[in-house]
C-alpha cells in the first residue's frame, strides 16, 4: 500500500488532471465546503480548471516543424561559387577560410592551405593534414612530410624551389582517419580552382585518396602508381602521376623501391617538358 502511495506522489499534476478529464471528471473537491450557487466561487474554480487545461494543451502540442537542413548539393554549389569568384591564390585561401560547409573545420585547429614555391611548375596534392600539419597550418611537415622532402631531394628537387604542395582537404579529419567521399566532394571545388590558379605543368598525386578524388576513379593506388595519366585544365592536358603516400612507405618500407622508379620517371618527364 505504501508503495502505491509513493508512486502517486511522483505523478505529474498536469498528467493527473488530464487523466481525470479523460475519465469524465468535471468537478473538483476541496477540503473546505464550497457553495456552488455563489457566482464568485464558480468563477475561481473555472479559472483554475481553464489554467490547468491550457497547460495540458500546450504540453500536448506537437513541436514546430524545423526547416530542412541545407542539402549536400547546396553546400557544394556554395563552394563552387566561392571558388569561382577567387582570382588569386590569396583570394582562394580567404574563400576557404570563410567556408563553413565542411564539418571538419569545426574540429580542426588550423586551415592548411599550401606550402612550397607558388611560382614553380610542379604541384603535389596530398590527402589531408595530420596532427603536426593541423598544429602548424602547413602541409607535410610531420614525419611523412620529412620523408616526402627526402624522396624528392634524391632527384635534386626541393620544396623551396621546385614544387608546390596542397591537399584535397584543408582540414584534419579527427584522429587522422581517412576522409569520407562526401568530405572530399565538398572540398573538390576549391582544389580544382587551386589547380587552375596555380596552372601547373605537372601534377603529382600523393596517395590513394587524392588519386581517387581528383581522377574520380575507384582503382587502388597500387595499380595507379607509376602510371602517367592526364588532367584536363581547359584545353590543356596536364600530365599527372599518382605515387605512394610517404606515410604508407613508413609502414611498408619495401615499396620504396617502386617509389624510387616513380621519382626517376617524374624527373625524366620534367626534363622533357622543360
The mean per-residue pLDDT over the stretch 70-92 comes to 95
Distance CA 91, CA 93 (A): 5
Q: Which residue has the higher pLDDT, 63 or 27?
A: 27
User: What separation in angstroms does the CA of 202 have from each of 28, 132, 150, 237, 245?
Assistant: 86, 27, 20, 10, 17
Secondary element (H or E) of residue 231 = strand 229-233
Architecture of the domain spanning 72-273: 3-Layer(aba) Sandwich (3.40)
**pTM for the whole structure:** 0.75
pLDDT tens, 193-224? 999 999 999 999 999 999 999 999 999 999 99
**How many C-beta atoms lie closer than 10 Å to residue 71's C-beta?**
9
Domain definitions of the chain by residue range: 2-60, 72-273
Distance CA 253, CA 142 (A): 17
Hey, what's the cell of 124?
603535389
Residue 1 pLDDT > 50, yes or no? no
**237 - beta bridge partners?**
232
In which order are the strands placed within the sheet that holds 115-116?
Answer: 115-116, 163-167, 122-126, 202-206, 236-243, 229-233
Which residue in 244, 23, 30, 17 sits closest to 124, CA to CA?
A: 244
Q: What percentage of residues in the chain have a pLDDT greater than 90?
A: 72
pLDDT computed for residue 273 by the predictor: 84
Average pLDDT along the chain? 87
Most confident among 63-72, 228-237, 238-247 (mean pLDDT): 238-247
Burial grade of 137 (CB within 10 A; 0-12, 13-18, 19 or more): middle
pLDDT tens, 150-187? 999 999 999 999 999 999 999 999 999 999 999 999 99
71 pLDDT band (50/70/90 cuts)?
confident
Secondary element (H or E) of residue 269 = helix 256-273
Which residue in 99, 174, 144 sits closest to 252, CA to CA?
A: 144
Which residue in 261, 249, 168, 144 sits closest to 216, CA to CA?
A: 168
Residue 97 pLDDT > 50, yes or no? yes
Contacts of 87 (CB under 8 A, 6+ apart): 197
Distance CA 50, CA 33 (A): 21
Hey, what's the cell of 12?
505529474
Amino acid at each position: 500500500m505504501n508503495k502505491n502511495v509513493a508512486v502517486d506522489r511522483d505523478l505529474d499534476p498536469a498528467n493527473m488532471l488530464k487523466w481525470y478529464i479523460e475519465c469524465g471528471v468535471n468537478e473538483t473537491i476541496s477540503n473546505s465546503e464550497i457553495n456552488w450557487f455563489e457566482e464568485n466561487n464558480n468563477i475561481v474554480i473555472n479559472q483554475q480548471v481553464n489554467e490547468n487545461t491550457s497547460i495540458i494543451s500546450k504540453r500536448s502540442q506537437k513541436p514546430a516543424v524545423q526547416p530542412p537542413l541545407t542539402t549536400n548539393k547546396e553546400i557544394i554549389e556554395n563552394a563552387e561559387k566561392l571558388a569561382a569568384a577567387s582570382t588569386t591564390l590569396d583570394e582562394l585561401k580567404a574563400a576557404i577560410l570563410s567556408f563553413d560547409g565542411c564539418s571538419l573545420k569545426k574540429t580542426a585547429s588550423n586551415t592548411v592551405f599550401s606550402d612550397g614555391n607558388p611560382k614553380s611548375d610542379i604541384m603535389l596534392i596530398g590527402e589531408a593534414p595530420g596532427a603536426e600539419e593541423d598544429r602548424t597550418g602547413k602541409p607535410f611537415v610531420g614525419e611523412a612530410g620529412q620523408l616526402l622532402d627526402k624522396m624528392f631531394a634524391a632527384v635534386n628537387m626541393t620544396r623551396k624551389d621546385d614544387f608546390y604542395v596542397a591537399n584535397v582537404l584543408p582540414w584534419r579529419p579527427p584522429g587522422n582517419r581517412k576522409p569520407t567521399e562526401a568530405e572530399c566532394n565538398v572540398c573538390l571545388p576549391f582544389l580544382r580552382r587551386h589547380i587552375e590558379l596555380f596552372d601547373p605543368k605537372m601534377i603529382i598525386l600523393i596517395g590513394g585518396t587524392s588519386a581517387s578524388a581528383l581522377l574520380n576513379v575507384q582503382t587502388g593506388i597500387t595499380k595507379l602508381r607509376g602510371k602517367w595519366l592526364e588532367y584536363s585544365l581547359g584545353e590543356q592536358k596536364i600530365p599527372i602521376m599518382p605515387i605512394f603516400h610517404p606515410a604508407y612507405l613508413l609502414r611498408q618500407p619495401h615499396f620504396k623501391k617502386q617509389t624510387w622508379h616513380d621519382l626517376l620517371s617524374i624527373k625524366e618527364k620534367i626534363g622533357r617538358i622543360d
